[in-house]
Chains A and B, each alone.
Chain A
């Protein structure tokens, strides 16, 4: 094994990659910009939409309520509600967004001393932000009306307000901020690392194999004295570098974006930070993801080598995304936990382990089993890649 030759190929591939706009965009620019744009950008847009919906008066319709004029009048005077009346079926009006909600006031609500009112129904357009906001405003109005009614009745009966609420219920978190992080954002970070390891390796893997065939440089390099094993290892190291750099930049970028958002939220609301992800946990995740990146890089090189052109390579590699995304997402589902059997399922095992690591749970037996099995899969993928580079039918496919 000549480390010198592998190093020569690696340095040359790195130099070419750094001069390639497409590689720089996919490896560096996208991971740096994607998360600020997604979290900060999209976050602000959504916040703006919610704020706008909150400010805007909602048109609603009252059904019934002829025997409760005071309530109807009070509702009409509510802030940000405009009561409309007129022709038209309320279902059609809501569906066509002419009104945002309608409330059906049960008979005898204002005068009734009884307790068997028909349920008050609020009709709305599920999933529509403005309709949901309008329904919430109506509900808030009637909640307040109900509370006031109950308080008046308690006063008449000379009973304290605590008569209806003898005790309060409060939830209290007892686990560390790291464990909370593991449960809440651990799955997303792991998913991100895995997907970015794959996407970061995709373009260089295609460029270094199918791209070489397309540019007719494959025969040039094969005519040099370097062995094909050294050649594939040099190329593989470059793909692995791109994979890890993309994943590292993505997580860093996401970390900074989250910190910025949380910082502004803390300043505005004064709430304390409840999530904590240690640098050690992030490094442990990368260490566990390393053999997975090895497996992705070697597998992508092998698959792309079969293609005669860059376009053909893209069509071979795209389905691989689904193969990786499914187990990566499965780890985020509630209830799926690491078992000895799942420790051997590639991708899913690393996803589940990384989630545990972020939560600060270090089960060394699982770590060893998953790390070794993934190393084994990675090694097998490199072995296959080397074998494929020795096959003339693959290199000179016509």
Chain B
């Protein structure tokens, strides 16, 4: 379970002054379901997920991740989370096995448990053919599998995916999508950020639309379709965002 409570994050930029990247965002993600954070580039998705993963500290508000407070107990939060994004690359000079072992050890696994976990994961993800190959020699698909293995090694109850298929080819993206579904089936709490609407339609049980740092709408795909009287998710997204932007800009909405 993830419970975000009035999360806010402000940055200071020398040129632009104080910037509010995330403002008063609250939502709940439940175990066994996928929460999709949908928004354009710069909407605040990555900042929100980085706060949930305790990579960034919130300026205001907090969140409970698997019962641990992200401000009070960040290390326990990270031990409960598997975080995967395009910015979480692999160490090029380690082999796939060493990479996963490293994160297993950092998560406090003993050597016997770690070996068993790695054998299981490598079998499941069909990684044995490249387990001792250095990460800088792996193909994109192999790298994705190694990253998945890295997030799974400590069997976290919460999975956070920040634009996980960004820049991937179709096959590598399919591997990730299949993995996210497996996480839901395994009863994990899953939160996913994306701006790819087809991905949201395929995967998400609940959608939160984020724009300019604020959560503008939330609901299941069915609830959103009913509320905005549109079938197409893209139209729904545009309606939500336009309704928010137009009054701010002083434009009349017809």
Residues of chain A having any CB pair with chain B under 8 Å: 5, 8-9, 12, 15-16, 19-20, 215-217, 219-220, 222-227, 392-393, 396
Q: A5-B106, A217-B90 are in contact. Are A15 and B98 (CB under 8 A)?
A: yes
Contact digits for B54-65, partner A, Cβ 8 Å, 1 yes 0 no: 011100000000
Q: A8-B106, A16-B94, A392-B56 are in contact. Are A223 and B89 (CB under 8 A)?
A: no
Chain B residues with Cβ below 8 Å from A225 are: 75-76, 78-79, 106-108
Q: Determine whether B198 belongs to the interface, using a CB cutoff of 8 Å to chain A.
A: no
Please name 29 pairs of A and B residues whose Cβ atoms are closer than 8 Å in the assembled complex, sorted by A: A5-B106, A8-B102, A8-B106, A9-B106, A12-B91, A12-B94, A12-B98, A12-B102, A15-B98, A16-B93, A19-B93, A19-B134, A20-B93, A215-B89, A216-B87, A216-B89, A217-B90, A219-B87, A220-B88, A220-B90, A220-B150, A222-B55, A224-B103, A225-B76, A225-B78, A225-B106, A225-B108, A393-B11, A393-B12
Q: Among the listed A5, A9, A19, A223, which residue makes an inter-chain contact with B88, where contact means beta carbons less than 8 Å apart?
A: A223
Chain A residues with Cβ below 8 Å from B103 are: 224
Q: Determine whether B231 belongs to the interface, using a CB cutoff of 8 Å to chain A.
A: no
Indicate the member of B57, B106, B107 with the most A CB atoms within 10 Å.
B106
Contact digits for B66-82, partner A, Cβ 8 Å, 1 yes 0 no: 00000000011011010
Identify the closest chain A residue to B92 (Cβ): A215
Chain B residues with Cβ below 8 Å from A217 are: 88-91
* Interface positions of B from 226 to 241, Cβ below 8 Å from A: none
Cα A16 to Cα B135 with chains together (Å): 12
Cα A217 to Cα B136 with chains together (Å): 13
Q: Among the listed B11, B12, B85, B102, which residue makes an inter-chain contact with A219, where contact means beta carbons less than 8 Å apart?
A: B85
Residues of chain B having any CB pair with chain A under 8 Å: 11-12, 53, 55-57, 75-76, 78-79, 81, 83, 85-94, 98, 102-103, 105-108, 134, 150
Identify the closest chain A residue to B9 (Cβ): A392
Identify the closest chain B residue to A218 (Cβ): B87
Chain A residues with Cβ below 8 Å from B75 are: 225-227
Cα A5 to Cα B79 with chains together (Å): 14
A392 in contact with B57 (CB, 8 Å) = yes
Closest 3 CB pairs of A and B: A223-B83, A216-B89, A225-B79
Cα A19 to Cα B106 with chains together (Å): 21
CB distance from B71 to the nearest CB of A (A): 14
Chain A residues with Cβ below 8 Å from B134 are: 19
Identify the closest chain B residue to A7 (Cβ): B105
CB distance from A211 to the nearest CB of B (A): 10
Indicate the member of B53, B86, B108 with the most A CB atoms within 10 Å.
B108
Q: A8-B105, A8-B106, A12-B102 are in contact. Are A224 and B78 (CB under 8 A)?
A: yes
Q: Among the listed A16, A215, A226, A392, which residue makes an inter-chain contact with B106, where contact means beta carbons less than 8 Å apart?
A: A226
Cα A8 to Cα B94 with chains together (Å): 14
Cα A222 to Cα B76 with chains together (Å): 13
Identify the closest chain A residue to B134 (Cβ): A19
Cα A80 to Cα B57 with chains together (Å): 82
CB distance from B151 to the nearest CB of A (A): 8
Cα A164 to Cα B38 with chains together (Å): 105
CB distance from B119 to the nearest CB of A (A): 20
Identify the closest chain A residue to B76 (Cβ): A225
Q: A220-B90, A226-B75 are in contact. List 11 more A-B contacts (CB 8 A).
A: A16-B94, A215-B89, A215-B91, A216-B87, A217-B88, A217-B89, A219-B88, A220-B89, A223-B78, A224-B78, A225-B108
Cα A223 to Cα B98 with chains together (Å): 17
Cα A215 to Cα B99 with chains together (Å): 15
Q: A222-B55, A392-B57 are in contact. Are A16 and B87 (CB under 8 A)?
A: no
Chain B residues with Cβ below 8 Å from A222 are: 55
A223 in contact with B55 (CB, 8 Å) = yes
Chain A residues with Cβ below 8 Å from B93 are: 15-16, 19-20
Chain B residues with Cβ below 8 Å from A223 are: 53, 55, 78, 81, 83, 88
Q: A5-B106, A224-B103 are in contact. Are A219 and B55 (CB under 8 A)?
A: yes
Chain A residues with Cβ below 8 Å from B56 are: 392, 396
Chain A residues with Cβ below 8 Å from B89 are: 215-217, 220
Chain A residues with Cβ below 8 Å from B78 are: 223-225
Chain B residues with Cβ below 8 Å from A226 are: 75, 106
B108 in contact with A216 (CB, 8 Å) = no
Chain A residues with Cβ below 8 Å from B11 are: 393
